[in-house]
Each structure stands twice: as structure tokens, then as C-alpha cells.
Structure 1
Amino acid sequence: METTPELIHSYISAGLECTHLQVQGDGRHFTAVIVSPAFAGKRPIQRHQLVYAALGDRMREEIHALSMKTLTPEEFGG
């Protein structure tokens, strides 16, 4: 089964509290804007690790490239 932006959206939202989540992609390469209060006080690498944890093994098996913009609600809102 081909991975879709909708599938990635569901994987992330199931494993991470998000106030905004947008995923786009072509089946191999994806971009995501992820806004979560869980990112507060965390460095970018720690934020990405939270997303990778939500994706679990799918990151290795199904998703070949995921570019992420990770923001707190305060950063997203301006």
C-alpha cells in the first residue's frame, strides 16, 4: 500500500498532540508542518525525535523522506 499524506497525518496525530498538522507529499517525499505544545522548550532535534517516535517503525519502512517544520502554538501563531 502506498503511503499517502493522509496516512502520515493520521500516524502523527495518533501519537502526538497537535494543534495544527499539515502533510503534503507524492508518495515518497513528504513535508509536514507540525504544531504541538509538546515542543515547548525543546531543541529542533528533540522535536523531530518526538515526531519520529509517533511514526515508529513506519519512518524506516514506509516513509522515505520527511521534511518537518516543528513549531509550538506560540511560534505558529506569531
Structure 2
Amino acid sequence: MAAPTPAQVRDYIAAGLPCEHLEVEGDGQHFFATIVSKEFDGLPRIRRHQRVYAALGERMREEIHALSMKTLTPAEWAAAASAAAGHH
């Protein structure tokens, strides 16, 4: 089976989870995703990750071997962006 591209992994996540911002980098084996979704409001990190795994479903087991992710709510994303802007 061909390894998925970062764009495909991004599409897989977007298909199963409404995202405000979604960025995926990777080499076909290991991926790193930054995922911003209102669905993460009030959820601890483990539940956020489970939500992403649920969106990926079977593909997580069959095609994607390693996925690291940063899961943020829109408010957390805005705060992180504002903090980053303040350090320039």
C-alpha cells in the first residue's frame, strides 16, 4: 500500500473533524499535525487525540504509522498566535 502524503492525511482528518485550522507535515511514515477545532473545547488532550483517531478510523491502523499532534481550541490557537507575535 502506498504511503499517504501529508495532504492526504490532512484530507482524512478534515473529512471526519470540523477544523478551524489544520496543518500536516510528514514523510509518509511519520506525521505531525496541528489541529484547531471547536470540538476540542473542554476536552483533555487524550480525548482530543482520541477524537482525531476516530476521524482517521481504519486509515490510522493501516496507512499511518506514526502521528504526533498538537490539538488546540480556537481560543488556545489565538492565544498561541498572539504570544508568538508578541515575541518579535
TM-score range, shorter chain: over 0.9
Q: Which has the larger radius of gyration?
A: 2
Q: Matched residues in 1 for 2:13 and 2:72: separation?
A: 14
Q: Matched residues in 1 for 2:17 and 2:70: separation?
A: 15
Runs of 5+ in structure 1 lacking a partner? none
Q: How does 1:1-78 map to 2 (within 5 A)?
A: 1-78=2-79
Higher helix share: 2
Count of paired positions: 78
State the Cα RMSD in Å. 0.5
Q: 1:63 Cα deviation (Å)?
A: 0.2
TM-score (norm 1): 0.98
TM-score (norm 2): 0.87
Q: Matched residues in 2 for 1:44 and 1:52: separation?
A: 12
Q: Matched residues in 1 for 2:52 and 2:65: separation?
A: 15
